[in-house]
Amino acid sequence: MPRTFLNQLTVPGTVVETVFQVPEKSLRTTRKGTLFISMKVRDRTGEVPAVMWDATEALFAAIPQGGYALVKGHVDTYNDAPQVVVEAMRPARDDEVTLSDFLAAGPGNPDEQFARLQEVMAEVRRPALRALLDAMWADETLVANLKRAPAAEKLHHAYLGGLLEHSLGVAETALLLCRQYGRLDCDLLLVGALWHDLGKTRELAYAEAFGYTDEGKLVGHIVQGVLMLQEKIGQVRSGGTAFPEQLADVLRHLILAHHGEHAFGSPKLPMTAEALALHHADNLDAKLHAFWRNVEGDADPARRWTAWNKMFGGALFKGFEDLDIRDEDAAAEPRA
């Protein structure tokens, strides 16, 4: 029997009987004193809220958070978006779980994207930074993880290969910024684009389902990225190439400041032109990807606005279906 994925559950009343991952769950009490489970259910197409009324503590304990459950119920709506009302559920057996149903893969070819990333990084000229890149390329485990890891659990590029796609997108944008703003130190900005999220190869879990490792929860990808940079700088110096401490400092700052604001987990605010440029290149790539993903994945393809979106703080405009603001003839001409 073909599996039903969450992005197919758009019509209220649709019967659901399939295996989902349960990334979040909480046991709550209604005003009448009965127990219910509020949770999220997930597959490779996305994540939606779910609720089970008249639950028990035993059932709640039996469903492992982050594990898999066979869910029976139907589709309803909550806050103008689909919700699964669970009528019965139990832990899924191993033979009922197909990992490819839960690990979405990106649209690109990781080998081709990695080759392009190396082409972009070939623009780096400083011997110390060239040696740093060579040390990274030689780390087969790190390269393999970069090609496989998602860029996030769910916010943007949340699929296998997403980290590489995002890193390449930021690096390509960094290259454009270097050409537009000649005062930027392109070597620093490009290496920062490559390295800014590299700690996610350790922060995120992506072997069986997307989530966070213990190391990721305790340390986080920003600090992990600095620690990984330290490891590679040590290798460069051990190999006989000088790596000035001041150069190491500005690279550390790029990683520590790339989230841009303390409120978004950035230990430092951008204090160099390259850190400022990296922050905006990173944010632009992530936000545009998330925008298009939310527009294309909206539950009602016929409406012009999406449901309210937490990341953007409102609904997103899809455009007028009868208006193409692009000039096809002009679009066909290459830009100078």
- Give the range of the structural domain holding residue 209, as residue numbers without chain letter: 110-292
Looking at the domain assignment, is residue 21 inside a domain?
Answer: yes
Looking at the domain assignment, is residue 303 inside a domain?
Answer: no
Looking at the domain assignment, is residue 281 inside a domain?
Answer: yes
- The answer to whether the beta carbons of residues 315 and 306 sit under 8 Å apart is yes
Distance from C-alpha of 262 to C-alpha of 23, rounded to nearest angstrom: 27
Are residues 150 and 95 part of one domain?
Answer: no
Looking at the domain assignment, is residue 251 inside a domain?
Answer: yes
Comparing C-alpha atoms, which of 234, 15, 274 is closest to residue 132? Answer: 234
- Amino acid identity of residue 66, one-letter, is G
Residues in the chain: 336
Alpha carbon 321 to its chain's center: 29
The three-state secondary structure class of 73 is: strand
User: Which secondary-structure segment (H or E) carries 175?
Assistant: helix 162-180
Are residues 206 and 135 part of one domain?
Answer: yes
- The answer to whether the beta carbons of residues 71 and 20 sit under 8 Å apart is yes
Looking at the domain assignment, is residue 298 inside a domain?
Answer: no
Looking at the domain assignment, is residue 331 inside a domain?
Answer: no
pLDDT tens readout for residues 214-247: 898 999 999 999 999 999 999 999 999 999 999 9
Looking at the domain assignment, is residue 13 inside a domain?
Answer: yes
One DSSP character per residue, 188-244 reads: HHHHHHHHTTTTHHHHEE-SSS-EE-HHHHHT-HHHHHHHHHHHHHHHHHHTT----
Are residues 124 and 174 part of one domain?
Answer: yes
Residue identified by tokens 């550390």 is 252
Query: Is the CA virtual torsion 306, 150, 84, 18 positive or negative?
Result: positive
One DSSP character per residue, 134-153 reads: HHHHT-HHHHHHHHH--SSS
Distance from C-alpha of 158 to C-alpha of 229, rounded to nearest angstrom: 24
Based on its alpha-carbon atoms, the radius of gyration of the chain, rounded to whole angstroms, reads 23
CATH number of the domain at 87, please. 2.40.50.140
Are residues 163 and 251 part of one domain?
Answer: yes
Are residues 124 and 218 part of one domain?
Answer: yes
Are residues 114 and 51 part of one domain?
Answer: no
Number of domains in the chain: 2
- What is the 3-class SS of 305-328, one letter each residue? ECCCECCCCECCECCCCCCCCCCH
Query: What residue ranges of the chain have pLDDT lower than 50?
Result: none
Looking at the domain assignment, is residue 310 inside a domain?
Answer: no
Are residues 212 and 177 part of one domain?
Answer: yes
User: Which secondary-structure segment (H or E) carries 27?
Assistant: strand 15-29
Are residues 136 and 175 part of one domain?
Answer: yes
- The answer to whether the beta carbons of residues 214 and 66 sit under 8 Å apart is no
Query: What pLDDT sits at residue 329?
Result: 57
Last residue of a domain, one of 68, 100, 132: 100
